[in-house]
Structure 1
């Protein structure tokens, strides 16, 4: 059963990581880029 449950758990962890870790960093980078008019 681990071969059925494992991929779903891994996908859920990866989705959580992408939504809350990577996207938060991208929003910070875009926000600082947009607020800096000299670039």
Structure 2
């Protein structure tokens, strides 16, 4: 749970707050090495 929070939920919240993610858009979560992920808005 903590890992999901740190690597996905917190960055995702930042995208929403910064206005980079809008209703209806999709977010792609890609692994970047063993412990990191990349969030892309599609």
TM-score tier after normalising by the smaller chain length: 0.3 to 0.5
Query: What is the TM-score of this pair, normalised by structure 1?
Result: 0.45
Point out the structure with the larger strand share.
Answer: 2
Q: Which has the higher contact order (CA 8 A, sep 6+)?
A: 2
Q: Which has the higher Rg, Structure 1 or Structure 2?
A: 1
